[in-house]
Amino acid sequence: MRIDVVSIFPEYLAPLELSLIGKARQDGLLDLKVHDLRDFTTDRHRTVDDTPYGGGAGMVMKPEPWAQALTAVAAGRSEDAGDARAASDAGAAGPPGSAGKPVLIVPSPAGERFTQATAHELAEEDQLVFACGRYEGIDERVLEWASEHFTVRPMSLGDYVLNGGEVAVLAMVEAIGRLLPGVVGNPESLVEESHSDGLLEYPVYTKPSSWRDRDVPAVLLSGNHGKIAQWRRHEQYRRTAERRPDLLVEFDAGKLPRADRTAFSDLGYDVVDGRLLRRPDA
Ligand code: 6GU
């Protein structure tokens, strides 16, 4: 997979050289490049922002540096603004032979919610481009224009505001990158983790079996793998009901074994038409 990140703070993306993602880059599983938006300006001050039409607080990112930068990365030519202009003049729309348009991800609290399902979807793409906005955002016309060359997806991590897209890109690239074949050593670790099945993960324990007067749940020491699997599943239900009841609305309860229905009943949920319904009295 090819990933390009455009930012006015390329140093912010330095952690992508570390750990699993850094290793994936070294191993050639992930071709990731970070670009400085200011390299695509043409004025002496390398200006990337200006005051908003209509008034109001803050600054807005100017469209032209973004068009130059995105044209360059879509064409796979991004060393400097000269390259960007050449690619633009040639009308380049993407690397030759690439299947479909690259996906342009625009981190924004006004975007669609980024979830584990989004990460899986994006992990199938050939090329992702992340456009890190700062200030009050990027001139809206950039996104309209870019849709000729990219599938444009404004994405939000959640309902809170960050100062810019960079931290969100660190999170999204890690979530996507770890799903690429070969990046996570043992692919089984991807199966039983939070959100892989629409539920939160069960609690985990390691040695010693008794620590500061606290014992590991006995079932985990029993060697009974059926019992252990059931206990873990029920812990997932309990945790999800307690911390993220919103996730249970989407949960498919149609084929649950009797013991699991009972577990949900104990948590105050009935199964109605294959869906979990919170009892009003619970
Ligand atoms: Cl993706 N970007 C920014 N700037 N703020 C956010 C966000 C993204 N997700 C939540 N808040």
pLDDT given for residue 49 in this prediction: 97
**How far apart are the C-alpha atoms of 166 and 9, rounded to whole Å?**
8
Which candidate, 233, 105, 113, places its Cα nearest to that of 170?
A: 105
Q: Which residues pair with 105 in a beta bridge?
A: 130, 153
**How far apart are the C-alpha atoms of 216 and 223, rounded to whole Å?**
13
Residues 6+ apart with CB under 8 A from 229: none
pLDDT given for residue 97 in this prediction: 40
Report the atom number in ligand 1 closest to the C-alpha of 157: 9
**C-alpha pair distances (Å), 97 with each of 85, 91, 102, 174:** 22, 16, 12, 27
For the record, the structure tokens of 268 come out as 């105050």
pLDDT given for residue 99 in this prediction: 55
pLDDT given for residue 82 in this prediction: 43
To test ligand 1's pocket by mutation, which of 134, 156, 163, 170 has the most ligand atoms within 8 angstroms of CB?
Answer: 156
Q: Which residues pair with 112 in a beta bridge?
A: 155
Is residue 130 a contact partner of residue 6, using CB atoms and an 8 Å limit?
Answer: yes
**CA 70 to chain CA mean position, Å:** 20
Q: Does 53 contact ligand 1 (Cβ within 6 A)?
A: no
Q: Does 164 contact ligand 1 (Cβ within 6 A)?
A: yes
Is residue 244 a contact partner of residue 195, using CB atoms and an 8 Å limit?
Answer: no
To test ligand 1's pocket by mutation, which of 161, 173, 176 has the most ligand atoms within 8 angstroms of CB?
Answer: 161
| Distance (Å) from CA 228 to ligand 1 centroid | 39
Segment holding 85, helix H or strand E: helix 81-89
pLDDT given for residue 90 in this prediction: 42
The angle at the Cα of 154, spanning 142 to 140, to the nearest 5 degrees, equals: 25
| Distance (Å) from CA 165 to ligand 1 centroid | 6
This prediction's pTM: 0.90
Q: Is the peptide bond before 181 cis (omega within 30 degrees of 0)?
A: no
Q: Does 172 contact ligand 1 (Cβ within 6 A)?
A: no
| Distance (Å) from CA 190 to ligand 1 centroid | 25
Taking the chain (282 residues) in consecutive chunks of 10 residues, what is each chunk's mean pLDDT?
Answer: 98 96 96 98 98 97 98 80 42 50 97 97 98 94 97 98 97 97 91 88 98 98 98 98 97 96 98 96 85
**How far apart are the C-alpha atoms of 79 and 71, rounded to whole Å?**
12
